[in-house]
Amino acid sequence: MGIQRSLLLLGVMALCWSSSTASNVLYTGGTLANNESIGLPGVGSFVMQQDCDLVLYDNNGTVLFSTNTTGPSRQNCTLSLTNYGRLEVRTPDSELLWNSSNTNSPNGSYAAVFRPDGDVAIYGPLHWSGFARGHNMKTEKEQELLGNIPTVNNMLFSGQVLYGNDELTNGLTSLKVRDCELLQTWLFFSWPLVSVQGEDCFVRLNFRGQLTIIDDTGKNSSALPTAANPTKGEYVLILEGLLARIYGPSAWSTNVRGVQPIVHLMLPSDAQE
């Protein structure tokens, strides 16, 4: 009962937040229209404008990328991310005006991410999806409400590490490193996602789509998922509702800042199969 009430409260809060706060990711099946956007405060936004242009702005309102798809009396177009990982701008009559150029991505779940460097990149397909559905999350409606929670510090990109007091959170669930365990927390529950024997451990997303926990000597480590993706590239872990999910490799980018990884630090293990 208490938990159900908390859930209801969270759901209501989620609805309130999502109407006022922009989110930084669009998933497969998601759409944007009528000036809806993804973005990050202080960095910029990627807007599906009502005039049918899809535009990437920086924080000062400067246009960094645009699909140039306006037209006489053209209005109300929709941006969607397909299950082949392509962004598409379509008219209300479903005419394709623009699509991202990645043509070889397989069927799956993708994420178009507004990155902290101000570019938008498509990651996927979904490589790993972690436990995180609470025991009382029964209905789809609840899941939907919870999934709408806006996101801050909700991602970890290839090369980035979590240690000490670092925390990833989407306002609903969080990840942090404690005593060589990567703990996921939801309400007053915590459970380990991955752990290793050792001291002063840190967690890192590698360039094969694995979340690794490594002890300070570098000798002991374990990885989630245990099998590395054969494709080397840039991946992203996203806290999505109550799930921790890894998408990648990156398939397309607005590429305004250059196709650099967010973090340049690579470990020798990144090169292994």
Ligand X SMILES: *[C@@H]1O[C@H](CO)[C@@H](O)[C@H](O)[C@H]1NC(C)=O
* Positions in the binding site for ligand X (CB under 6 A): 34-35, 50, 58-60, 66-68, 75-76, 83, 92, 96-99, 101, 103, 107, 197-198, 215, 217, 219-220
Q: Choose among 243, 196, 241, 184: nearest CA to 220.
A: 196
Whichever of 190 and 217 has its CB closer to ligand X, that residue is: 217
Question: Residue 125 has which token pair?
Answer: 């397909």
Question: What is the closest distance, in whole angstroms, from the C-beta atom of residue 201 to ligand X in the complex?
Answer: 9
Contact of 40 with 46, CB cutoff 8 Å: no
Hey, what amino acid is at 222? S
Beta-bridged to residue 244, according to DSSP, are 239
Whichever of 178 and 271 has its CB closer to ligand X, that residue is: 178
Whichever of 4 and 76 has its CB closer to ligand X, that residue is: 76
Whichever of 100 and 154 has its CB closer to ligand X, that residue is: 100
Whichever of 168 and 182 has its CB closer to ligand X, that residue is: 182
- Give the Å distances, CA to CA, from 34 to 31, 50, 103, 104, 138: 10, 4, 27, 30, 33
Hey, what amino acid is at 49? Q
Question: What is the closest distance, in whole angstroms, from the C-beta atom of residue 4 to ligand X in the complex?
Answer: 31
Question: What is the closest distance, in whole angstroms, from the C-beta atom of residue 65 to ligand X in the complex?
Answer: 7
Question: What is the closest distance, in whole angstroms, from the C-beta atom of residue 22 to ligand X in the complex?
Answer: 14
Rounded distance between C-alpha atoms, residue 179 and residue 91, angstroms: 53
Question: What is the closest distance, in whole angstroms, from the C-beta atom of residue 76 to ligand X in the complex?
Answer: 4
Contact of 239 with 154, CB cutoff 8 Å: yes
Question: What is the closest distance, in whole angstroms, from the C-beta atom of residue 143 to ligand X in the complex?
Answer: 17
Whichever of 59 and 272 has its CB closer to ligand X, that residue is: 59
Whichever of 4 and 197 has its CB closer to ligand X, that residue is: 197
Angle, helix 2-20 to helix 140-147, in steps of 10 degrees: 40
- C-alpha 196, offset from chain centre: 26
Contact of 4 with 11, CB cutoff 8 Å: no
φ and ψ of 20, to 5 deg: -110, -15
Question: What is the closest distance, in whole angstroms, from the C-beta atom of residue 28 to ligand X in the complex?
Answer: 9
